[in-house]
Structure 1
Amino acid sequence: MKKKASPSPARDLPFEIFTWSQVRDEVKAPGNREDDSDRVLVLTGNVVMPYDLGLDFHQGIFAQDDDDEPPFTGLIVRGNLTVEGCVLNWENDFGPFLQVHGNLVAKRIAIGGARIHVTGDLTTEDLVAVYNHGSVSVGGNLKARTLASHYSFKVAGAVDAHRYLGQDSKVFAVAGGVEDVKDPYEGKGVFVPSVVRDGRVDLEKVRARLAAGKPVARDAFTSIREAFRQLVAKKIAEPDKVKSLTLEDKGLTSLPEELFLFRKLEKLNLRRNNLRTLPEELGQLTELRELDLRSNGLLELPESIGELKKLRVLDLEANCLWRLPESLAGCVELRRVNLVNNPYAYVRWAFGSWRKVQLMFDFPEVLTRLPKLEVLTFEGTPLRTLPTRRFDSTTLSKATVLRSLVTHVDPELHGQLQVDVERSREKAAAYIGYWFKPETVRLESFYDAKADRYDFAEVLALLALLLRINIPTAAPYEESLEKFRVQSESIARHLDWDGDKPRHVHALFGALRDAMGLLGEPYPGDALIAGLRDVFAARAG
């Protein structure tokens, strides 16, 4: 049955029309709650469209001659599809599906809630996917100059593109499916200025420009490292004149080697990057007075930091430091040290696994040996212990330990410290809410769907960490047990949101219940262990 004429330029194509019930088994694109009577357009053979292909309901090829007729819900191309214009979908929440049984080649692709499934390769200049209700699935390779998306793609083959995944992420070059995480780009280094604001790429504006046939990407891309090298090129002739340098929010995972040419630097701002470690070359910057390392996910400092004899201010807030090197005592001019929020919220991401996470439970005694220390701040750091010696500094004016796990203070030994022990129990229980939640205990974190196999190692490592934090600080554990009950309910609800997957809930909480024997061995007779057995058993089935 041929489709009647429509207002789309594609009206002359030899469409066939089938009901959803007739093609349901053929369709691989995710469903949109189609009714059996909904209609699907089908083209057989290789198709070339020398114009845009719209993927919005009731428009273009999906326009209805009669509003009382069932709607068109998708297009199947049983062959290769070439679109010389833009594959375009304006509606963010939904849209018809496009299924191509061969390869899809399009000049541009700009979609929202539409669903695209390509059996072969997908090739385009620029691809933007707005919001998160749509989907793109590719059975072969995906090749694009730029790929900007609020949601991830399923690609069986290799991806080749400069990829931006929305929000505050950077752009990364992906070649052969391998992402170059060491050489990121800022949005402004890849996309035209009109679609970048405050460091973010506005995907709605990208879609509008692609729909209008306007460029969204620069002629040449500049990575953060290359931009730094260009900056260096202007100053390298006289590096000793550079006293201050800001590399804030540059997506750096390592420091450019050119940085260490500036031996006269006095102030270095590396705030809000992704630096897990720092090179020993840092010790070459011996003129540094201020070093800002806030919000990096740092795991440790290099031993060479002790070479910074003139350092006065060290900002380590919002990292994941679990110890400080003894060499820090060499920073004899250090006045201010900020250790607020270590670890920060992204602790698991920073370490790469709950099995690798380490926390700063012990007070770094090296801080007591800084002769000119004036201000020291711990807040939200899970210290269990306080120093075993007094501070050497005679100029210490403020030293605070707030929202920690400390439960005892020696008034004589710790008279220089302001310690809040009243909130320690509350803080210990709070970690349960931070980490034992649906976002971290996800189905894919413990279940391999292809192998139909469970692996609870990550979840059990998280539980062991929470036990170590709460025992004995949170005793007698009423608040901790209530947190575990509430969070367990939330996790179970997310795992079985549609009521069809109770076995995953039973398996998870059965494993947690059974693990309490081994995990409880370091805490014989502890009430939290006994209470948790009951909490987990209630959901183990």
Structure 2
Amino acid sequence: MRLVGVEGKARVFWAYAQHGERLELHHGKQGTEGKRESRTFASAEEAAAFARKQVAARVDKGAWSSDLAFESTPWEQVKGSVQLPGNSEQDEDRVLVLTGDVVVPHDLWLDFRRGIFALDDPDAEPFIGLLVQGNLTVEGCVFNGENDFGPFLQVNGNLTATSIAIGGSRLRVTGDVMTGDFVAVYNHGSVSVGGGLVARTIASDYALRVEGPVDAHRYQGQGSKVFAVSNGVEDTQDLYEVKGVFLPAVVSGERVLLDKARKLLATGKPISRPEFTSVRAAFRKLVSKKMAEPDKVKSLSLDGKGLKSLPEELFLFRRLEKLSLQSNELRTLPEELGLLTELRELDLRSNGLLTLPESMGALKKLRVLNLETNCLWRLPDSLAECVELREVNLVNNPYAYLRWAFGAWSKVRLMWELPEVLTRLPKLEVLKFEGTPLRTLPTRRFDSAVLKTATVRRSLITQVDPELHAQLDVVDLASSPRNAAAYIDYWFKRENVRVEHIHDAKSGRYDFTEIIALLGLLLRLNIPTAAPYDGALEKFRVQSEDIAHAMDWAGASAHHVRALFLALGDALGPLGEQHPSNALIAGLRDVFSVHARRGT
């Protein structure tokens, strides 16, 4: 192998040939005889390892294979064929072009003024990218160390690489990508693949655009779990914690340290485990010894495992007294939960649960039920059979990710009434409601004679029967209008109302179904609670202005803003039929009409 590079203002070369345990080395300035030397090692393997290390070190310093027959072409001549987001390229900028199927026998660095993009003359126009007219094989890492920028790489064919680790560079492959670990650090970079993507792992802050099927174990940043993706289908039932896929060196808590992972790949070091272990497999391993004598297990925690369903093995522990399932993604629970008849404490916080199973009634020894931060809209009547239940926590139902939990605004259901079944618990001592849009209270007294604390805070309740509800501590009824209006801030915001939520770019069609469902939900929350509606209207006005600004921030989407607010204004007709002459609906017509005329 022969490498060439730039040292200062001089072009240099370094080459080797291996003969068993002996290496013949040749290096110097190009155009000279250079220096030759021979080194002998204990074995051919040691000689090969030394050569690889020397190649990596020199490539790291900017050298590249002399077999790469680059052509330098002005950007003006190739810009029509480059399918990448623009980066203020100038016509006189230069692009490196490789024609035919190419093998790079080492790492490929995508950083300005480094390696193949180095300049003999620092005043010359820069090389801004590499265009490969054919298949590209990189026997190493495709690496870009800068987060904000880097030369582009477009391959008009397939790309095969040992690994890929990029940041600000833009990568476009018209065919398939086949690699080991793939790390993409978010900033100004992008990845676009016209075919399929096969990787051992994908770790990225942003979604890669892949037109064909994906096969990989994929982590998409921000503390998410890892999902196995096969032929483009994500397995959501058997997910992985990051520590079950990635090595400890690149894991911090529930996050993959993408910058560190990128640097390790650049040095040829691994970032993923030899074998992956899913949450279910880890659970089976954790309880494998306990399963020999399941009746001896009294307490079990599966907190923060990203579970969307419960492992079947859980229900073998019939003597469990304490079970914690908080901070998962459970939307429902199986009826098999009723098999755990010895439960005293059940912690279901922070799951986005929509309902509880009817089998809850079988948990007759249950004393503490923590349902905080979910999306429960009803409780099963069978809960009345939990005759030992002392404490029920229903704070923050619904929680912030309401639409995500239900799957669509049109599917959202809320707990409007304090469930009467709670009044039938004979030993209830503590009941907590806060941040739940309750409108009405039960029409019967609580059966419990030992009820010490029963609080209802931040609700929509405006009236209390002091005699019937003497056991309830319903504070600050005057805040109900503010509580109702607060949901406008929570839900009617730019993150929930984007162009892609209402417009299909391919068909050019609009669909306002979900946004209108959101508006209907907010009207139901605020009418009549928020009357006389000054606070609610002001929030709608502020949020509408912010949504319009975000949607049309570049000044090219005023037509989308007009379409959105025209549709919202039209929707006020059918939505307001039950509320004739309502001041909130009348005020909203004025708010929406302002943005329905944007840009005209």
TM-score over 0.5 (shorter chain): yes
Please state if 1:405 is matched with 2:460.
yes
Q: For 1:61, what is the secondary structure of its paired residue?
A: helix
CA contact (8 A) 2:224 2:254 kept: no
Kept in 2, the 8 Å contact 1:320–1:359? The answer is yes
Aligned residues: 539
Residue by residue, what CA displacement relative to the aligned partner does 1:6-46 show, whole Å, maximum 9, x if unpaired? Answer: 94314552212222222111111111121222211111111
Question: Given the alignment of the two structures, is residue 46 of structure 1 paired with residue 113 of structure 2, yes or no?
Answer: no
Measured in 2, the distance between the counterparts of 1:221 and 1:507 equals: 48
1:439 matched to 2:461: no
Whole-Å Cα distance in 1 between the matches of residues 585 and 66 of structure 2?
69
Q: Which residue of 1 aligns with 2:553?
A: 497
- Residue pairs, 1:15-34, within 5 angstroms: 15-34=70-89
Cα RMSD of the aligned pairs, angstroms, is 1.2
Whether 1:474 aligns to 2:530 is yes
Inter-partner Cα distance in structure 2 for 1:522 and 1:68:
73
Q: Deviations over 1:366-399 (max 9, x none)?
A: 0011001111000000001111111111111111
Residue 163 of structure 1 deviates from its aligned partner by 0.3
**Within 5 A, what are the aligned runs for 1:448-463?**
448-463=504-519
2:368 is matched by which residue type in structure 1? Answer: V
State which of 467, 482, 485 in structure 1 corresponds to 2:541. 485
Residue 76 of structure 1 is matched in structure 2 by: 131
* Matched-pair contact (CA < 8 Å) for 1:334–1:372: yes
Residue matched to 2:576: 520
In 2, are the aligned partners of 1:260 and 1:281 still within 8 Å (CA)? yes
What CA deviation, in whole Å up to 9, does each residue of 1:390-427 have, x standing for no partner?
11111111111101111111111111111131211111
Q: In structure 2, what is the equivalent of residue 267 of structure 1?
A: 322
**2:58 counterpart residue number:** none
Distance across 2 between alignment mates of 1:70 and 1:431: 55
Q: Secondary structure at the match of 2:494?
A: coil
Q: Is the 8 A contact 1:190 1:220 kept in 2?
A: yes
Q: Go from structure 1 to structure 2 and tell me whether the alpha carbon gap of 1:11 and 1:478 turns closer, same or farther (over 3 Å shift).
A: farther
Give CA deviations for 1:442-495 in whole Å, capped at 9, x if unaligned: 111110000000000010000000000010111111111111111111111111
**Kindly tell me: are residues 194 and 526 of structure 1, through their superposed partners in 2, closer, same or farther at Cα, counting changes over 3 Å?**
same
Q: Secondary structure at the match of 2:432?
A: strand
Q: C-alpha distance in 2, partners of 1:195/1:408?
A: 55
Partner of 1:309: 364
> Do the aligned partners of 1:11 and 1:61 also contact (CA within 8 Å) in 2?
no
**Structure 1 gap segments, 5+ residues each:** none
Residue 168 of structure 1: which of 209, 214, 223 is its match? 223
CA distance in 2, matches of 1:54, 1:289: 59
Equivalent in 211, 220, 226 of residue 281 of structure 2: 226
Instruction: Give unmatched runs, 5+ long, in structure 2.
Output: 13-61
Counterpart CA distance in 2 for 1:397 and 1:418 is 10
Question: Match for residue 47 of structure 2?
Answer: none
Aligned to 1:370: 425
Q: Quick one: distance in 2 between partners of 1:129 and 1:518?
A: 47
SS in 1 for 2:128: strand
Render the CA deviation track for 1:62-88: whole Å, top value 9, x for unaligned: 122222222211111010000001000
Deviation at 1:199?
Answer: 2.2
User: In 2, Cα distance between the equivalents of 1:377 and 1:41?
Assistant: 66
Greater Rg, structure 1 or structure 2?
A: 2
1:154 aligns with 2:209: yes
- Contact between 1:184 and 1:223, CA under 8 Å: does it hold in 2? yes
Aligned-pair CA distance for 1:229? 1.0
Amino acid at match of 2:490: Y
Matching residue's letter, 1:266? E
Does 2:301 match 1:246? Answer: yes
In 2: Cα distance, 1:474 partner to 1:10 partner: 72
Residues in 1 aligned to 2:465 and 2:501: alpha-carbon distance in whole angstroms: 43
Structure 2 Cα separation of the partners of residues 503 and 171 of structure 1: 39
What SS does structure 1 have at the residue aligned with 2:422?
helix
1-structure distance, mates of 2:557, 2:318: 60
Task: In structure 1, give the amino acid aligned to 2:552.
Answer: D
Give the aligned partner of residue 41 of structure 2: none
Q: Is the 8 A contact 1:294 1:318 kept in 2?
A: yes
2: CA distance, partners of 1:113 / 1:522: 54
Return the offset for 1:303.
Answer: 0.2
Given that 1:10 and 1:61 are in contact with CA atoms closer than 8 Å, whether structure 2 keeps it comes out as no
Aligned residue type for 1:331: C
Within 2, Cα distance between the matches of 1:153 and 1:66?
Answer: 36
Is 1:181 equivalent to 2:247 in the alignment? no
Equivalent residue letter for 1:533: R
SS in 2 for 1:461: helix
* Counterparts of 1:295 and 1:334, CA distance in 2: 21
Q: Which residue of 2 aligns with 1:192?
A: 247
- 1:93 and 1:386 mapped to 2: Cα distance? 56
Q: Distance in 1 between matches of 2:568 and 2:262?
A: 46
Q: Give % identity.
A: 69
State the alpha-carbon separation in 2 of the partners of residues 10 and 71 from structure 1.
20
SS of equivalent residue, structure 1 residue 468: helix
Counterpart in 1 of 2:481? 425
Output the CA distance in 1 between the equivalents of 2:193 and 2:463: 59
What CA distance in whole angstroms lies between the structure 2 residues aligned with 1:292 and 1:135? Answer: 42
Q: Is the 8 A contact 1:329 1:366 kept in 2?
A: yes
Contact 1:290 1:313 (8 Å CA) reproduced: yes
Q: 1:376 & 1:245 partners in 2: Cα distance? A: 25
